[in-house]
């Protein structure tokens, strides 16, 4: 591990309640519109996909993670240990 890698700030979990409703929806929309988040052969509306992710966030099955090193935000499964709680 290089000194730069060891000095990189760890990702931070962002509680959905810390975001405005509009910002939260934009984060979720960005996530569900990415390639690789298709739901298979059936058609699922954007609103349904957003609602599904919102339910996962509410149940604690998923969480929003901000990576200060790349200044990016993502949604990950809660079982992923790549982010620490705030």
**53 in a domain, yes or no?**
yes
pLDDT at 55: 97
3-state secondary structure labels for all residues of the chain: CCHHHHHCCCCEEECHHHCCHHHHHHHHHHHHHCCCCCCCCCCCCHHHHHHHHHHHHHHCCEEEEEECCCCEEEEEECCCCCCECC
**85 in a domain, yes or no?**
no
Query: Which residues span the domain enclosing 60?
Result: 9-77
How many domains does the chain divide into? 1
For 45-74, write each residue's pLDDT tens digit: 899 999 999 999 999 999 999 999 999 999
Here the CATH number for the domain that contains residue 40 is: 1.10.10.610
Distance in angstroms (rounded) separating the CA atoms of residues 53 and 28: 7
pTM: predicted TM-score of the whole model, two decimal places = 0.77
């Amino acid at each position: 591990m290089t000194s730069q890698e060891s000095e990189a700030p760890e990702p931070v979990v962002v509680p959905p309640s810390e975001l405005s409703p509009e910002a939260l929806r934009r984060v979720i929309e960005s996530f569900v519109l990415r390639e690789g988040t298709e739901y298979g052969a059936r058609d699922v509306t954007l609103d349904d996909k957003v609602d599904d992710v919102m339910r996962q966030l509410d149940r604690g099955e998923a969480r929003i993670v901000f990576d200060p090193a790349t200044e990016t935000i993502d949604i990950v499964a809660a079982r992923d240990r790549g982010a620490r709680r705030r």
